[in-house]
Amino acid sequence: MLIARSEPAPGSLADATGARRKPTFRPEVQGLRALAVLMVVTYHVWLGRVSGGVDIFLLISAFLLTLSFARKVETGTSLNLVRHWLHLFKRLLPAAVVVILGVLAGTWLVLPQSRWPMVLEQAWASLLYRQNWLLADTAVDYYAQNHAGASPLQHFWSLSIQGQVFILWPLIFAGSAIAWRLLRRRYNTSYRAVLAVPFAAVFAASLAFSIDQTATNQAYAYFDTRARLWEFALGSLLALGLPLLRPGKMLRLVLGWAGLAAMLSCGLLLTVDRAFPGFVALWPTLAGAAIIVAGRSGSRFGVDRFLSWKPLVSLGDNSYALYLWHWPVLVLALAATGVESPNLSQGGAIIAASVVLAVLTTRFVEKPLREWRWPQVRTWRTAVVVVSCGALLAGPVAVWQTSLTAEEAATAAQPRELTPGAAQLAPGNGMPAPAARIIPAPAALDNDWAGIHAPCIEANATTDPVLAGCRQEVPSGEITKRIVVLGDSHAQQYLAALAPIAEARGWELVTLLMPACRFGAESEARNAECNAYNRASTAYVLEHRPDAVFTVATLTHELAPFETEVPGYVEGIQPIADAGIEIVGIRDNPRFTFNMPECVQRHSPGAPACNPPLSESLVDPSPLEGYRGRVDGLHLMDLSDFICAGGVCPAVVGNVYVYKDDNHLSRTYVESMIPMFEERLLAATGWT
């Protein structure tokens, strides 16, 4: 994990070989970083939980950075921020670039093609220290248990936050130095006292923001720099206040061991995964602070004796590289072996490989570049090294992305007769589709998603904040029918067929969609947010009185029972039917325990693993049969014969990927269903 290896500030307190240390070197802090990285690694490998180790790293990095700059200002040393930043990133980038290049090689060898664009996009984000914002914007679940499906670069989020802080903090140091020089002419004040003011303000504001955002949008807050600044500010305040804290020997013993116990127990005693980085993160950060305050106890029973243990200090020297390597080694190993969660021996092998790579990276990349004197002579030379490191990664990434774009264009340009998709299953189409590239290209699968995007306005507008995601699509000509689409992403995917049909027939579409929230009456099977959304959706429909609503009327599952009725479905649509509004209920599509297109990319379209049996995907008879005759105005649709055929549910039909992941139909495939969709819809409803 990054702990600010810059000269003469953070992290340069020790070189990677454990050679001669500087007088200010604190071995117990080096041991603390080693213990923190071990927590991160072991929790990732075996427990799949948040440990609090990253938060301790953030605290330590700001602590060391503040000590360094405070000494500079107090001794009258020029700050020279540009030189500092260049020198800092000259130390940080080489190891990061080596790891990212290693990840790219592993991606090409191990990961399916559909995941390549994501890794390449995150390579850029990691290089430019904006990975945390990318993950926040794409709503990545950092706690997902199946690490084999995770990005091998997503752990760069914390390095990105630190990189951003390492640019911001020196500006605060410099601004405070100017203020101090002006104030000390009139007031007898110290630089540290002046510096404490902005850091106290940052701590209070960021912690309040973090608590609020963690409660309302935790998935985004986890990666939000603003919600993490208080952890850095706490480290800076600790550095400023440390000279004033002189605990006695006994208190040092208590603080040290209590801090260590709290640090190690955080992730075990608390379910902190969904609570960070709010006030719960005070647990590990204050634990780390207690250990630092305990410092050198002067007792053989002090925690510093344990943290100063040579193997632990040596691991601390390699902690940055170990943090860089452990996550991609874990993700790529699991993806290559098909293991979802490593056992003790498998996890041990992953950690051992990570340690070996970390030591090699520190010894042959970090250390030589840190000791290389040529860049230290002139600032422009340091800039050349930084730019060269970036170019070493940017070149391969740009070339790879260009080749994927060209492949995507060539795949999309194929004649349509080569990729009939669902039309291949239509009556009379007994001949197999001719050989062709499967569409969409793997690089395009992630974006192969249907939807309408214009916000609801005028007659379709709503003042209910719960329905802020309301979207509309108004036909270019006369409106002949108004339809509201209710439910989740499984309703949204059918917009690839419904929207073109609506445009051709003059139907207006409005969508009220919430991820993982199937429409129905209030039920314990749904969370409170989903129940609230469905209540608001029903109220909207009853207020706006469309001609019809479109819903998904069954619910599929990964495991048996593979398909059931939607909880509270009849009760949910009854008020709508009572208002004279028609309801279209379509049968759900199968879900699987694996990613269908990735299965094809690993094996082949005809591999049995990629063509699961119909009996393990849908049930017979369909749950739709249970609805018949129960609600007037309910029209039922079943297109499952164009999704599953011949007793299997294939991943590819007519040279088109049926699915974009493990449960969503691809937009391209649904578009190939338009003629059949329209025929079944009109037949079910009697519309003309």
pLDDT of residue 257: 94
pLDDT band at residue 14 using 50, 70 and 90 as cut-offs:
very low
Per-residue pLDDT band for 135 (boundaries 50, 70, 90) equals very high
What is the rounded distance in angstroms from the CA atom of residue 12 to the CA atom of residue 97? 20
Q: Which residues, in sequence order, are CB contacts of 685 under 8 Å at separation 6+?
A: 548, 582, 584, 635
Q: What is the pLDDT of residues 597-655, one digit of tens each?
A: 999 999 999 999 999 999 999 999 999 999 999 999 999 999 999 999 999 999 999 99
Q: Which DSSP letter does residue 278 get?
A: S
What does the DSSP 8-state code read for residue 47? I
| Confidence at residue 18, expressed as pLDDT on a 0 to 100 scale | 42
Question: 23: pLDDT confidence band, cut at 50, 70 and 90?
Answer: low
Burial class (CB in 10 A: 0-12, 13-18, 19+), 544: middle
Query: Which is nearest to 540 in space by CA: 473, 490, 471?
Result: 471
Which helix (H) or strand (E) covers residue 304, if one does? helix 303-307
Q: 275: burial class by Cβ within 10 Å (0-12, 13-18, 19+)?
A: middle
Query: Does residue 666 register a pLDDT over 70?
Result: yes
Q: Give the SS3 label for residue 495.
A: helix
The tokens of 406 are what? Answer: 């060209």
What integer is the mean pLDDT of 658-684? 97
Range with lowest mean pLDDT among 181-190, 395-404, 623-632: 181-190
Query: Which residue type sits at 536?
Result: A
Domains, the chain, in order of start with CATH, read 27-396 (no CATH), 449-593+625-643+669-685 (3.40.50.2300)
CA dist., res. 467 & res. 593, Å (int): 31
Residues 506-522 have pLDDT tens digits of 999 999 999 999 999 99
SS3 648: strand
Query: How far apart are alpha carbons 420 and 669 in whole angstroms?
Result: 9
Strand partners, 17: none
What is the rounded average pLDDT for all residues in the chain? Answer: 91
Q: CA nearest 6: which of 99, 81, 76?
A: 81
Cα–Cα distance, 195 to 109 (Å, whole number)? 50
Q: How far apart are CA 191 and CA 609, in angstroms?
A: 67
- Give the pLDDT of residue 140: 55
Q: Is the pLDDT of residue 42 over 60?
A: yes
Confidence of residue 269 (pLDDT cuts 50, 70, 90): confident
What residues does 439 pair with on adjacent strands? Answer: 656
Residue 465 burial by Cβ neighbours in a 10 Å radius (0-12, 13-18, 19+)? exposed
Which residues does 518 contact at the CB level (< 8 Å), separation at least 6? 487, 488, 490, 526, 552, 555, 566, 567
What amino acid is encoded at 66 in this protein? T
d(Cα 679, Cα 688) in Å, to the nearest integer?
11
Secondary structure class of 288 (helix, strand, coil): helix
CA distance 460 to 465: 14
Q: Which residue do the tokens 């303000």 mark?
A: 201
Percentage of the chain surpassing pLDDT 90?
81
Q: Say if CB 668 and CB 634 are below 8 A apart.
A: no
CB 183 within 8 A of CB 189: yes
Average pLDDT, stretch 299-315?
A: 91
